Amino acid sequence: MVWLERLNHMPSQPLLATLGETYSVLLERLGTCSPFELAILGGRAMPTPGLAFLLGYQAALRVLWPSAPQSLGALCASERRSVRPADMQTRLDELRLSGSKDFVTAGLDADWLLVAARSEAEGASPRLSLAVVYPGEPGVRLEPLPALPLMPEVGHARLHLEQALCERLAGDGWDAYVKPFRTLEDLYVLSALCAWLYGVGRVSRWPQSLQLRLISLLAGCAEGSRLCADTGACHLLLGGLFAQFAGLREEINRALLASDGQWASLWQRDQGVLDIASAARSKRLAKACAAAGLS
């Protein structure tokens, strides 16, 4: 586990004037790294769980789109709290996007946006494409949203598009991008948050047994990063990793309360991010278990 040595020697990265500047400085320090290394090394370096989440989110985006720019980006899919193609109104017509997206993670700091949009012919069944737009270009407007109690340092925005010129990515927008991203986000955010906790544990001298179990979880996440996100094997492994983490939560909370500093309050504030997509994750796991013949 070469990544473990780097993890053990990863210095902290303070939050700078903007998320973009913080991310840029971190990338310079990391050098060339895989998405998994970005998630765990970046998560380990961040001062809060919310910022660790952001690193896991960026890592997932780079698995989804390996040609992504080095700067911060975001996936824009949900409309009225749904990502179902039939519920979307945003349209792609001859490389022009029109519509709106409800919730863009770190939207005001993102340099590029992946937008899911309907692209089927009139009267045909809903079909998605994925396109890239850039904030500041004509027809692209981001509206800041109020800060949330969860991860307040990671801002969010609403996206408005009016005949915005875009680049269309190859492949089906649902099968190749929106659907697998939910699994990728779960995996890489879990990786980043486990790395953040491991870093706190090293600084706070948590019991060795707890640190070892966090390393074991990270090793499982590393294996998950080698699997295709749309396979039953990946969903089964991810289900096992979340089950292991759930089994550690009480012990982690006790260790945080016994640690100096604000670690416990930060974790209490942000840990709910792991539960946001739990219903969809449970459905994917149930399908994978059924296919594998597991009760």
- What's domain 73-168's architecture? Beta Barrel (2.40)
- SS3 for the chain is CHHHHHHHCCCCCCCCCCHHHHHHHHHHHHCCCCHHHHHHHHHHHCCCHHHHHHHHHHHHHHHHCCCCCCCCEEEECCECCECCHHHCCCEEECCEEEEEEEEEECHHHCCEEEEEEECCCCCCCCCEEEEEECCCCCCEEEEECCCCCCCCCCCEEEEEEEEEECEECCCCCHHHHHHHHHHHHHHHHHHHHHHHHHHHHHHHCCCHHHHHHHHHHHHHHHHHCCCCCCCHHHHHHHHHHHHHHHHHHHHHHHHHHCCCCCHHHHHHHHHHHHHCCHHHHHHHHHHHHHHHCCC
Q: Residue 203 has what pLDDT?
A: 95
Average pLDDT over residues 267-280: 92
Measured from the Cβ of residue 82, the count of other Cβ atoms closer than 10 Å reads: 12
Q: Residue 177 has what pLDDT?
A: 97
How much of the chain exceeds pLDDT 90, in percent? 94
Query: How many Å apart are CA 236 and CA 61, to the nearest integer?
Result: 21
Q: Residue 2 has what pLDDT?
A: 85
Banded model confidence at residue 281, pLDDT cuts 50, 70, 90 = very high
Q: Report whether pLDDT(1) > 80.
A: no
Q: Are 133 and 166 in contact (CB under 8 A)?
A: yes
Residue spans of the domains in the chain: they are: 2-64+176-292, 73-168
Residue at 193: amino acid letter:
L
Q: Are 113 and 87 in contact (CB under 8 A)?
A: no
Q: Residue 295 has what pLDDT?
A: 74
Banded model confidence at residue 261, pLDDT cuts 50, 70, 90 = confident
